[in-house]
Structure 1
Amino acid sequence: MEPIRLNKYLSAAGICSRREADRLIAGGTVLVDGVPADMGMKVTDENVILVNGEPVQPQQEMVILAVYKPEGIVCTTVEHKGEHNIVNLVNYPKRVYPIGRLDKASEGLILMTNYGEIADKILRGSNYHEKEYLVTINKPVTLEFLNAMRSGVPILDTVTRPCTVKKVSHDTFRIVLTQGLNRQIRRMCEALGCRVTFLKRLRVMNVELGDLQPGEYREVKGKEREALLASL
């Protein structure tokens, strides 16, 4: 194979995203032929590559999973005392990791993969990929509230992008976002004087939660997978 950048190699091998690979390299936990890796270096399958002491296998067949993350599960590959993470919940026979995050108090769809290129492209905010949520708040959903959410809310030293928001019931609405700021919906609601009591992600791009139940997963394949990859 032609030499490729180490972060891309780790991503293609299903270790992590390119961004996370850069963090691992900078932290000195990646060794190439017994020597700490340098940022930007290129490697091939002939190199012996270790991440946290574990050998990296060559690129695997691509896996994409749609997972129903229950409330209380954290979207990380790291073990935290007293917390259950999404990797252990799914217990997939191949190494996969979550694409992005869904906070511990929320539930619904999270995509998982062993292919970092997909994760990077889905998470890149400049691509304006849609994510849809069902949200309940502790106050009535008014027209004033809907208009404020649609037009953009000042949070985290920025203003959120205009988005689609539709009322479902007196205290529940659907919202479609094209960005992924930290705890964005909860912060938007807090900025408008209310609190989220229930949050469920229904869709990521063309992949929908469908009939999945909490803790269940399915492989994204066939036309659904083709459409997802085509949009990337």
Structure 2
Amino acid sequence: MTNDPDLASLAALITEPARAAMLAHLLDGRGWTATELGRAANVGASTASAHLRKLVDGRLIRVTPSGRHRYFRLADGEVARMLEHFAYFSTPRRPRTPGETRASGALRRCRLCYDHVAGEIGVALAQAMVRNGWIVDAEPWFRVTPAGASALAALGIAAADGRACMDWSERRPHVAGALGAEIARAALTSDWVRREKASRALWVTPAGEEVLRVAFGVERFENAG
């Protein structure tokens, strides 16, 4: 008999294919209905409800009633971090159709990792800010410098230390934590990036291309096509 945490039960909860698809869909930080999550997992309404009940009971997601609907979200940022780490150690899945290839390319290019920007653009931003002297890589943290605080304030981004989050597709860290959330907030509210309607991919707008190139010094910003 052991008092160790029940890792097997947690792993089983996450790795069931339909639940894994739902959790991946929730990694964009938004709330989704059972119908939407069932569609993302390609299961019927009753099956989706059963899976969501298990995820709620397992404290991986939470549900918020709003009018006639109930919206499901990840329980918190710690769950998102665990899922990203899980993805990092997972074997990449080969796209089977042209549509899957485009969707995979969009996710790898730029996506939301719960509340911060990830993918090629997220990693490029982290590298550019280190190169500019805006942040210092003090693993596992990114510390904002005085010069960085001024530069970020000019872009409408509140200075706050960030946390290094290993990017599963780039295999290098992007900026998470308070600074990562601030960058994502500014990018969305300033229309530098736009959300993909049915996924967590982000598309860089022309205004965002300008900010990435001129303000941050990021050159590789083209959208996946």
TM-score (norm 1): 0.28
Q: Which has the higher contact order (CA 8 A, sep 6+)?
A: 1
Higher strand share: 1
TM-score, structure 2 normalization: 0.29
Structure exhibiting the larger radius of gyration computed from Cα positions:
1
